[in-house]
């Protein structure tokens, strides 16, 4: 059973297009996250939702819009894609107030903008 799943795994698209990435977790966690990992492997948080409420909204272009329809799902929509958006996007989930705050990561979506 996959704990955190993302679709698609690979996404190749042209500049200016709009695309979405979907994430689902079956761990019963109350918090979900989107991270961006660049080519230098730097992992940076973008957004976080706790019980469908946005709790972290880092400095990210407003072309990126997250949406959490329920606690188990967190989607990321990106408008007007740019070359600099090329990266691996990871979804993660956790139980916010757990002792360790361990985050479970999805397999990642490798986005390539041409």
Q: Which residues bind another protein (CB under 8 A)?
A: 33, 40-45, 48, 50, 55-56, 90, 96-97, 99-108
**14 or 99: whose CB is closer to another protein?**
99
Closest contact distance (angstroms) between CB of 107 and another protein is: 5
Contact 59, 113 (CB under 8 A): no
**12 or 43: whose CB is closer to another protein?**
43
Please list, residue by residue across 7-46, b when 16 or more beta carbons sit within 10 angstroms of its beta carbon and e when fewer do.
eeeebebeeeeebebbbbbeeebbbbbbbbeeeeeeeebb
**75 or 103: whose CB is closer to another protein?**
103
């Amino acid at each position: 059973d996959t704990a955190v799943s993302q679709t698609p795994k690979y996404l190749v698209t042209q500049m200016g297009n709009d695309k979405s990435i979907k994430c689902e977790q079956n761990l019963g966690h109350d918090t979900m996250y989107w991270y961006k990992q660049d080519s230098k492997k730097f992992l940076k948080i973008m957004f976080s939702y706790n019980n469908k409420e946005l709790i972290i909204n880092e400095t990210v272009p407003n072309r990126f819009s997250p949406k959490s329809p329920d606690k188990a799902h967190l989607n990321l929509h990106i408008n007007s894609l740019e070359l600099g958006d090329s990266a691996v996007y990871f979804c993660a989930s956790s139980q916010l107030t757990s002792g360790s705050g361990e985050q479970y990561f999805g397999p990642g979506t490798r986005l390539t903008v041409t």
